[in-house]
Structure formats: C-alpha cells, structure tokens
Amino acid sequence: MNALKQNKEQIHQRHNRVQHHSGSKRSLNKPMLLQAMRDAFKKLNPMVMIKNPVMFIVEVGTFITLLLCIDPNLFTASDAGRGYNVAVFFILLFTLLFANFAEALAEGRGKAQADTLRKTKSDTIAYLMQKDGTVKQVASTELKKGDLVRVEAGQLIPTDGEIIEGLASIDESAITGESAPVIKEAGGDFSSVTGGTRVTSDYIIMRVQTDPGESFLDRMISLVEGAQRQKTPNEIALTTLLAVLTLIFLIVILTMVPMANYLGIRLDLATLIALLVCLIPTTIGGLLSAIGIAGMDRVTQFNVLAMSGKAVEAAGDIDTLILDKTGTITYGNRMASEFIPVQGVTVPEMTLAALQASVRDETPEGRSVVELASKQGQSWEESNYTNADRIEFTAETRMSGLNLSDGTKIRKGAVDAIKRYVTSEGGRVPGDLDEIATRIAKAGGTPLAVAIHNRIYGVIYLKDTVKPGLKEKFAEMRAMGIKTIMCTGDNPLTAATIALEAGVDDFIAEAKPEDKIAAIKKEQQEGKLVAMTGDGTNDAPALAQADVGLAMNSGTMAAKEAANMIDLDSDPTKLLSVVSIGKQLLITRGALTTFSISNDIAKYFAIIPAMFILAMPQLQALNIMNLSSPQSAILSALIFNAIIIPLLIPIAMKGVKYRPMSAERLLSRNVFIYGVGGVIVPFIGIKLIDLVLSGLM
C-alpha cells in the first residue's frame, strides 16, 4: 500500500502527459460509408425531413416531379417531355440523398464510437454488501442508487459511484483510451469511479450513484450517437433564417406564374420546381445538421464529452477561463513533506501533535501526515482515538481536528484560522509562526498550523506540483484574447506563487465556493462568456453557473453532473482545444452559409434567361455563360446544386481551419474566400456541366 502511495504522483504525471485522442484515429471506412448510404434512403421519410424546412421543400418538389414523370400534363399543359421531367426528378432525388448522406456520415462516426463504448458496458457481476456485513453476488443491472459494492483487483467496476473506503489503482482505458492506471481513493477529489473501468490493485468499497440506465457510460453512448442531440441556439436561428428565405423564394416563384401568363409565357411546373430548388439555400440546408454533429464529434476526438452542442458553440466565444487550482492546475495530491516546530517546541513534539491531528483524517493530506510521522518513528495507539469526536474541515472554519474523550482539543488548519482559534482559547501566537508560514508559501507550498488546546506547536509543510506545459498553453489562450483566473482556497502568498509558476493572468485566494460563483457572475455581468474547469464537489456550483463547465473525469461525480463537458483525460488545458473547435464550428457554419447564398448569383444567370428567352429574346444578354440551350441551362444549374453538397462534405466534417486573429480580419477573410469563391465556382461548374450535357444531347 505504501509503495502504491509513493508512486501516486508518478502515475498522475504519466496519465496527464499522454494525450490519447481516442477518436482521432477513426477514419471513414467502407462499412461506415455503406451504412451512411442506407441511412440516406431511410431519412427520406417525410416525418424526418420536415425537421429541415429547406430540404422538406425539396422533397415535396421531388414528389411532384415524380408525378410529372408519370403524366407531364397532370397539373397543367406542358411543353416539356417526359425525359426532361425524369432528369429533373433524379437530380432532385440525388440532391436529397446527398444532403441525407452528409448527416448520416456525421452521425455514423458518433455511432462507431458508441459501439466501442457498448462493448465496455457488459452485464458484469457486482459484489453487493449486505447490512450484516456479508457480500452477495448480483448482476450490475440490479444495483440501485445508494447500494454499497466491494470491488477487488481484477474486477470490473459495475456502475458509477463514489469510493467510501480504500485506495486502488484503476485502469480507465475503456473510457479514456489511456493505458496508464490512475489512483482513486476515498475522501478526496479523486473518489469517483466509472462503470466499465477495472480495478488493477488493492480494493475499494463504493457507493452506487446512479440507477440502472442512468450511468455515465449510458449517457455517453446516447450523446455520441447523436440520437439525443438538440439543436443549438445558433443553429436554430440559422434554420429559421433559411426557412424564411425559402418562404420568400416560394412566394416569388408563385407570383411568377400569373406574371408569365399575363405575358403569354408558359412555364413548366418542373422548371419552376428546379428554379425554386436552385434559389433556396439547399447547400447549407443540406449540410447544417452535419456541421453541428461533426463539431461535437471533433470534441469527442479530443476525449472530451460534450453534453450539448450549445456548450461547444459557447466555447467558441469564451472570454474568461476560471480554473480551480487543486487537481486542475496542480496534481492535487498535496503531501506532507516536513514538520516545522515553532520556537520552544521540539521536532518530536511537533511530529506527535501533527500525527494526533491527522489519525482520523481520511483525506490524502491527512494520510500523508500519518505516513510521514510513521517514517520519522512516531507511533500511536489506535484505541486512544476511537471514541474521539472528529471535527470536519469546512470552508468557513478552514480547520479540522479531534476532541478526545479526556477533553483534549487538537486542531489543524490554515494558519490564520488556527491563530484565531488559539487566541479565542486564551493562548498566544508564537512570534516565528508567520515567518515559517510565509517561507513555505513563498516556496509554493501550503502551511498547515497545528495546535493542542491553546498552544500552537508548529506548521506542516504540504507540497503540490504544477502540471507541466501549462504556462505555454495559457500564453496561447492569452493570444486568443482569453483571460485566465485561478481560484484557490490557499492563502494569497501561496496562490501568488502558484499563479506565477502556472502563468495565469489573475488569481483569487482563499476562495470559497460562493467566491467562485461571484467571480463568474461578475464576468458575466460585464457581457463576457465564462468557462470554468474543476474537479471537486466544491466546484460543482461554479461549473453549473459558467457558460461552459468543463469537469475533470478524475474528479467527483457532483462536478461531472454539474458540468456540460467532461474531459476524459483530466487535462485543464484541453479547454484550449475545445475553444478552437467551438470557433471552428461557428466559422464553418458561417463560411458555408456565405458560400451557399453566394451560389445563387450564378444560378440566376443560368435559369432566369432560360425560362424567358423564347418569349423575351432580350434576356439573351443575361446568358453571360453562353449556355447551349434553355433545358441544358436549367439541368446544369440543378446538377451543380446537387453535386456541390457532397463536394462540401469534407469541409463540413473537418471544419474550416481556425487561425487566431481579430473578428474583423476573420470576417473579411471568409467573405473573400467563401463569398467571392461562392460566386465564381458556380459559373465555372455550371458552364462545364453544360458543355458535357450539350455533347450528350
């Protein structure tokens, strides 16, 4: 057990150094493509299509054109032949299939990951602890919230829970993809365990936190499949805009009929449908859902589970990042490294006092004090402390301790808290106490003062370690315009030292949970979007308040429940990748919307002259592409409108590359590339298709 504790920091370091992106290696394989093709046909169901107003209009037009293939004069007299109607029908059908294929392909990548996760969710045997102390074997599906389960080395953890007893090495590779085991233990921020992971050494007793079907793995499978994906506010707004544009063009097309009749021009119904489909924003309408799904999929490739697309989008607009220190910026395993007595107290006396203050303390820090005291030769009788009243640590008192049965009061906690306690008990504060505490704090450690009755014996020196590479990551965030603030319960000197070493912009010392919430609200009141990362139960309220709450998978269940993102690698700098993906998602959607709307300009010059050129030869001047015939022009525009969707699928799936720059420069760049490009490319594409069609016709 001691060896396991000694290796704890090494294991945590190895765990955080290795960045295993479980989804990054997933590629589009043949089975995935075939499944997407099958799903493209299934999605032709009108009940599915109606969720996308733009493509639903296309489907209605496709059905009407199918009827015209059977009888060209079904609705009105028509000059168009059956062959022309058949051509329009198949082009419209492929437009629908290409749009559905894009969405199915994006969903398929999530389903592939979900299938992998399902393999880890098997009906495992759980060892349920009975009230009489015996253990009963039951299926994991029978476990209920609140049950106590014992899991030993080699056994799978049956469901989500919190460790209440024990310390063990746990293999989480089934969830995180990380091969190095992590240490989980009772009483700290590393106490939550996930169903499907495996205990590799020692044992734990865990309390079940979820009912059947509600585990973290169940929710994760549902989310990555995309089955429960809700549209984001940005996506809803854009869908509404596209629906309004579609309605406007529908009204325009309907008003063209009486105008054409007045001029003595007969317009074929298939041609009107072709014009409508080309004018409405079918490109972005077909790719919109795929962009959102692919954005969430890219987040999972970085081993981050996003509870909603809204969180991913919000990450793209983050202004301020608030980080919890312990377990986020630092490894969180503060260990006692030295007992420093005040003047007039010997080292053995201080060691014994520290030991007495910690014998009933089940936190990692408390156990490290007991272990260090044991190494220094101190021993104790367990029976002397069995009936002692344990004083729990709270954010308000900031100290803990014991009240022994003989009336002895032992306290351990923050230096200023112990000073106030001793003074209230009629004692005095040693003259060198502040100097010792300051020296420890300046070294980046945490000083814990120890007192018995009204006498202070000395200071316990706790050490913590900043995770490597954070300073460079925070510098990148600063370049992106994101302010970083560290929140910690440590004293200001310790906080300042850690903040300087980590490279954050600001810090809040001696922070209680309500202080973190206040800091988030202050930033939000200034109109800023705030992200919060944390892993402890005390971080849960702040994670819930933040616009983006990123919980560490190594943290408590309360933190993971409150957050809207969970980092399976427990790396606080992962938010940098999430921010980039969020910005990329917004940029991709904007870029393809710009491209889609710009496309219409070329289609105007193709279809409008083709429809009216026989009755109004003057419109030949608008035929700047010199298309060979009216039917060829309409079919060329319609074919281009269909094939541009699959050609843009790689961009929708991969996303437009994000480059850190000002919003103005970014807008100008995208308008130039996708706006101007959206005008030029269709002219070239439609002309090339016309050349092919004129040769065939």
Q: Which residues are annotated as a binding site for ATP?
A: 361, 365, 393-400, 412
Contact between residue 517 and residue 545 where contact means Cβ atoms under 8 Å apart: yes
Report CA-CA distances (Å) from 651 to 212, 429, 587, 682. 40, 67, 11, 17
Angle between helices 677-696 and 574-612 (to 10 degrees): 50
- CA–CA gap between residue 54 and residue 276 (Å, rounded): 11
Q: Where are the alpha helices (DSSP H) in 400-469?
A: 415-424, 433-442
- CA–CA gap between residue 19 and residue 42 (Å, rounded): 38
Contact between residue 470 and residue 420 where contact means Cβ atoms under 8 Å apart: no
Which residue type occupies 262?
Y
**Residue ranges of the binding site:** 361, 365, 393-400, 412, 535, 539
Q: Which of 160, 218, 324, 690 is catalytic?
A: 324
Contact between residue 437 and residue 383 where contact means Cβ atoms under 8 Å apart: no
**Which residue is associated with the tokens 């790719």?**
287
N- to C-terminal Cα distance for the chain?
83
**How far does Cα 29 stand from its chain's mean position?**
25
**Residue ranges of the binding site for Mg(2+):** 535, 539
**Which residue is associated with the tokens 């377990």?**
327
Closest by CA to 352, choosing from 454, 462, 452, is 452
The set of residues, in sequence order, having a beta carbon less than 8 Å from that of 649 and lying 6+ positions away, is 101, 102, 105, 287, 290
Give just the sign of the alpha carbon dihedral 514, 515, 521, 524.
negative
Does the annotation count 324 as an active-site position? Answer: yes
**Which residue is associated with the tokens 């590799």?**
200
Contact between residue 446 and residue 435 where contact means Cβ atoms under 8 Å apart: no
Catalogue the active-site residues. Answer: 324
